[in-house]
Structures are given as C-alpha cells and as structure tokens.
C-alpha cells in the first residue's frame, strides 16, 4: 500500500482532509465521540462513497479495493454469526466472494491457535467470553491477508483487564505482518502503546489537529506503559485532544 490521500468536504462530517499513511505502519485515530472517525473508516472500507476529493487505498479507489478484498474490517462488536463455529466464523471473510481471495489467504487455523483459541475451534460464539469473541473477530480480519486492516474501536466493549491483554495480543499479531493498520480508539494509552503514529481528530467537522510520531522502539515490551517516554507521549496526545476540542 502506497498510502492514501484524502481531501474532501462532506456534510461537514469530515472537513477537507489530507492524509498519507505509510504502508505497513500502525496508525491510530483518536478523538471525541461522534467526530466522524467511523465515517472515515467506512469511506476507506468502500462502504460509503466520499462526497468529494480522492481516496486511494493501495493505489486504487476504495470501491475497487473492496471488491478485491484489500481491506479487512474489525467492527466494534465482534459480529460473529451464532450458527457458525469459531473456526467457521474465522473463515467467514474467505468463504464469501471467493474469486477475489488474495494469494496469501490461508485457513486461519494457525492464527486461531496463536491467539489461544486452539481448544475452541468447534465451539459456538455463545460459549465464549467477550475477549474470546473479539479475538475471533481479529483472526477473521487478519486471515484475509489484506494490505489494509481497519479497526473501529474493537476493544471498546471489553473490560479493562481483557482490554490490556488484547492490546498486547494485537501488537504481537500485527508485528512483522506487513499490513497497514488504521485503528480508531478512545483510549490514549491504547493508541500510544500500539501505534507508530497517532492522529488526533477534532470534533465535527473532523480535522486532524495533531499528528504525533510514537518513537517507542519495537518490539515493545508488555510493560511499555511504565516507561517515561510512554507517559510523556500520552501527555502530548492528551494536550492535543483538549486543545482540539476547546
């Protein structure tokens, strides 16, 4: 993915916006509720047309990227199908529109083992905890081997302890995979711990009020949050966030 530029005026949900995201990087967008982050994700995923400007995902418009299965989504709710087992749910995105499956796409069996669901392959969603469900949703997206993964507050519904575990797990899964990740969140520590870059968005109409490089070295240890540099960066994001809303 070469990156995307975006520059369009919507019904003031998204103010004209220029954005380049480097291939293979992990970028978080953080901002107040209802600031259009979800709209941005939906436009990128090709679920909604941009009302102006150009958006390129991997050198092609989102609609094309979508029909070529180049964008993998992790929604806020896991959205698992209750009649499919864990294994079948993880395969869902590969099972539809098969002709467009990317070359690297493979059965997500290994990934399920990697996230600790190896013993639950034949379990149904109602037998799993919230954190396990969201892990299936992560695997479902990553199994697609799409160059762009968009995540819309995937951990918002989880409790704080599970959330911290998921953070570490996601960092491990994404590391060295080469995919670009666009991660929408409300949590400052989450954004800083995971990202190469944090974009701070203003309230509607959405503009990016800050673009902060997270220069913490990778791979990041699980206790990265105790490092002084981490605390500093969190403070920086927080200031940008409050400056932006005022």
- Tokens at residue 82, please? 């209750």
Q: How far is it, in rounded angstroms, from Cα 144 to Cα 117?
A: 18
Considering the complex, state which of residue 150 and residue 171 has its C-beta at the smaller distance from another protein: 150
Tokens of 206: 């959405």
| 33 class by beta-carbon count within 10 Å (0-12 exposed, 13-18 middle, 19+ buried) | exposed
Give min distance, CB of 82 to another protein, in A. 5
26-30 and 180-185 strand pairing? parallel
- Interacting positions 74-103 with another protein (CB under 8 A): 75-83, 92-93, 95-97, 100
User: Measured from the CB atom, is 55 or 212 closer to another protein?
Assistant: 55
Q: How far apart are CA 92 and CA 86, in angstroms?
A: 10
Distance in Å, CB of 218 to another protein, minimum: 28
Tell me: does residue 72 bind another protein (CB under 8 A). yes
The span from the CA of 56 to the CA of 33, in Å, is: 26
x-or-dash string of contact with another protein, 6-45, rule CB under 8 A = ---------------------------------------x
144 sits near another protein (criterion: CB under 8 A): yes
Residue closer to another protein by CB (options 77, 236) is 77
Is 66 a binding residue for another protein by CB under 8 A? The answer is yes
Which element (helix H / strand E) includes 245? helix 228-245
Q: Does 246 bind another protein (CB under 8 A)?
A: no
Q: CA–CA distance from 81 to each of 8, 85, 94, 152, 199 (Å)?
A: 35, 8, 14, 19, 33
Interface pick for another protein out of 14, 43, 73, 241 (rule CB under 8 A) = 73
Number of residues that bind another protein (CB under 8 A): 28
Give me the residues paired with residue 26 across strands: 181
Burial class (CB in 10 A: 0-12, 13-18, 19+), 159: exposed
DSSP state of 158: S
Query: Stretches 2-10, 28-36, 70-78, 187-195: which one binds another protein (CB under 8 A)?
Result: 70-78
- When asked if residue 46 is in the footprint of another protein (CB under 8 A), the reply is yes
Q: Binder to another protein among 47, 56, 109, 157 (CB under 8 A)? A: 47
The footprint of another protein (CB under 8 A) covers 45-47, 66-67, 69, 71-73, 75-83, 92-93, 95-97, 100, 124-126, 144
């Amino acid at each position: 993915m070469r990156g995307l530029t975006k520059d369009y005026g919507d019904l003031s949900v998204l103010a004209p916006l220029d954005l380049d995201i480097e291939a293979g990087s992990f970028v978080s967008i953080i901002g107040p509720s209802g600031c259009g982050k979800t709209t941005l994700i939906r436009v990128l995923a090709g679920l909604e047309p941009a009302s102006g400007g150009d958006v390129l995902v991997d050198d092609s418009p989102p609609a094309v990227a979508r029909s070529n299965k180049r964008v993998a989504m992790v929604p806020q709710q896991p959205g698992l199908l209750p009649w499919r087992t864990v294994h079948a749910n993880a395969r869902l995105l590969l099972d539809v529109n098969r002709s467009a499956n990317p070359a690297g796409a493979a059965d997500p069996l290994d990934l399920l083992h990697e996230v600790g669901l190896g013993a639950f392959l034949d379990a149904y969603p109602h037998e799993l905890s919230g954190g396990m469900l969201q892990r299936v949703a992560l695997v479902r997206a990553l199994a697609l081997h799409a160059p762009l993964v968009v995540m819309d507050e995937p951990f918002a519904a989880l409790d704080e302890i599970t959330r911290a575990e998921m953070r570490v797990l996601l960092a491990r899964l994404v590391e060295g995979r080469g995919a670009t990740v666009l991660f929408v969140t409300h949590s400052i520590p989450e954004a800083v711990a995971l990202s190469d870059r944090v974009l701070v968005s203003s309230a509607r109409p959405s503009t990016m009020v800050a673009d902060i490089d997270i220069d913490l070295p990778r791979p990041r240890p699980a206790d990265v949050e105790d490092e002084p540099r981490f605390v500093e960066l969190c403070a920086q994001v927080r200031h940008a966030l409050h400056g932006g809303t005022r």
